[in-house]
Amino acid sequence: MPTAFKAYRSSFGFLKQHHLMWFLWFPLIITFLVFFGGFSLTSWATENISGLLRDALQNITWLPEWAGFVNDLLYWLLWIILRVLLYFTFAFVGGSVILLLMAPVLTWLSERVGEALGNKSVAFSITQFTRDLTRAAALALRNGFYQIVLSVLCFGIGFIPIIGAAAPFILFAVNAYFYGYNFMDYSLERKQFSARESNRFVWKNKFSSLTLGAPFAFWNLIPFIGPMTSGFVAVFATVAATIEVERITQKP
């Protein structure tokens, strides 16, 4: 079994052994806030759009008797449509949204895991913090761009006879690689790797990146439940990635 998968398998035990299970509260809280925010937004949009439609219907002189019925019908149609849109939005990008919101928590978790493995934490510096923030933003934009471009290419390949059958597997591998890259980069950032050094490191260890990102990518394919609970998988993935990066960097 590849070492990255071994690290994944042992991540739960590692959290328990080093009294870090409380990190699992963060995905629970963040997922709740995302859901609460999404439903609050759709409720606000339903009320405001239906209010605009109600005002518009009042100006239609031939519809006084049916105005109340039409208002109620439009309200419930909007209610259903917006919540269906929320469902599909969360199903497709919910995992990425939660992963983005959890980035500071996962960075902190990686540091705690590194400390448990015997590494000293770097003293806080506002200059270094600003530099790391800029670096992280640049890497996120770069990886996001490549991920979108490669995903579009995979979609195009899907229309080519025979070869197109491989497109879903290539797309899965692309997403797994970039997810694994993100999980590994929490450790690389802590080790003060530059963006170029991180790119070289992850590409050199691309099989580790793929095996670390594959479970998260697969989990997000489960409709609704996958993205909704992906924050918990991200916690275990970060532990596994940190263990794997430490193993690689400590090689003689």
Task: Give the integer Cα–Cα distance in Å for 88 and 184.
Answer: 29
Q: What is residue 140's three-state secondary structure?
A: helix
Of 66-70, 225-229, 231-235, 247-251, least confident by mean pLDDT is 66-70
Confidence band for 40, pLDDT divided at 50, 70 and 90: confident
Q: Count of H helices and E strands in the chain? A: 9, 0
End-to-end CA distance of the chain: 22
| Averaged pLDDT for residues 215-235 | 85
Q: How much is the average pLDDT of 124-129? A: 66
Q: Cβ–Cβ contacts within 10 Å for residue 130, how many?
A: 10
Average the pLDDT over 27-50 and give the result.
82
CB atoms within 10 A of CB 104: 10
Q: Which of 167, 171, 175, 170 is nearest to 217 (CA)?
A: 175
233 burial via Cβ count (<10 Å: 0-12, 13-18, 19+): buried
Q: Has residue 236 got a pLDDT over 90?
A: yes
pLDDT recorded at residue 170: 85
d(C-alpha 169, C-alpha 154), whole Å: 9
d(CA 178, CA 201): 13
- What's the pLDDT score for residue 25? 92
| Rg of the Cα atoms in the chain | 23
pLDDT score for 204:
93
Contacts with 246 (C-beta within 8 Å, 6 or more apart), sequence order = 114, 117, 119, 187
Structure confidence at residue 230 (pLDDT): 86
Q: Which of 58-72, 123-137, 234-248 has the lowest mean pLDDT?
A: 58-72
Identify the residue whose tokens are 């540091």. Answer: 111
